[in-house]
Amino acid sequence: MAGTAGAKGPHQARKRVVRVVGGAAALLLAGSVGSASAAYAEDGGTGRGGEGRGLTVDGRFAPASAFVPPRAVSYDPALVPAGGWIRIEHKTDGEGTTVTVRVKGLKPGHAFGMHVHEKACGVDPKAAGLHYQHVKDPKLVDPDNEVWLDFTTDAAGGAETSAHHTWGLPQGVANSVVLHREQGGAGERVGCFTVPFGDFTTGVK
């Protein structure tokens, strides 16, 4: 569309990748097993808002008892060993939104449950709050109304899966993924990874 060419302003650089440092805690974590890094890329190449934006966040699990609370928290070292790795990708385009998880170094051959939750992780497994729901309704606890990322690890403790929805994850309303001991809609929380879903421009002024 010719009319969109002029829409490109100072906030719509074609491609931006920034390293996000969440203050002093993140600096202390650099290089430790609890380190996490995030790369945010925004591609406004089409000139149409909401297309081709993505977020990728990596982390390594560490115990909740670590001196500096890690971004990727293990609540159960038998299932989620320290040093286990996780990457979350969140992509949004005209077709909707896709969340992909990749893990390495978790317990081999285990069927994990995983969902996108509302709040950031904490020392307390309950800190992540409830599942993010597209339509807020306690009766709609299912993979159509929520982002479920259940996976079963291979013999090396790795796995990859993704979930696609035609709706999106607005900034600020979904802030973690929680790993559960069992697959399905609930169960004991064995790990958590803080991810600012929908925030494709964090750190970009």
Residues in contact with Cu ion by CB under 5 A are 115, 178
Q: Rounded to the nearest whole angstrom, what is the least distance from the CB of residue 199 to Cu ion in the complex?
A: 20
Q: Rounded to the nearest whole angstrom, what is the least distance from the CB of residue 186 to Cu ion in the complex?
A: 7
Helix (H) or strand (E) holding 145: none
Backbone angles phi, psi at 83, to 5 degrees: 90, -15
The residue (of 64 and 178) whose beta carbon lies closer to Cu ion is 178
Q: Rounded to the nearest whole angstrom, what is the least distance from the CB of residue 28 to Cu ion in the complex?
A: 28
Structure tokens at 8: 């490109």
Strand pairing report for 72-74 and 62-63 = parallel
State whether residue 127 is helix, strand or coil: helix
Residue nearest to Cu ion (CB): 115
- Report d(CA 176, CA 195) in Å as an integer: 5
The residue (of 88 and 178) whose beta carbon lies closer to Cu ion is 178
Q: Rounded to the nearest whole angstrom, what is the least distance from the CB of residue 75 to Cu ion in the complex?
A: 12
The residue (of 148 and 200) whose beta carbon lies closer to Cu ion is 148
- Report d(CA 54, CA 71) in Å as an integer: 20
The residue (of 62 and 178) whose beta carbon lies closer to Cu ion is 178
- Report d(CA 203, CA 171) in Å as an integer: 14
What order of strands is seen across the sheet that includes strand 62-63?
62-63, 72-74, 189-194, 176-180, 111-117, 151-152
The residue (of 26 and 106) whose beta carbon lies closer to Cu ion is 106
Q: Rounded to the nearest whole angstrom, what is the least distance from the CB of residue 43 to Cu ion in the complex?
A: 30
Structure tokens at 179: 């790993």
Q: Which amino acid is at 183?
A: Q
Q: Rounded to the nearest whole angstrom, what is the least distance from the CB of residue 33 to Cu ion in the complex?
A: 24
The residue (of 154 and 188) whose beta carbon lies closer to Cu ion is 188
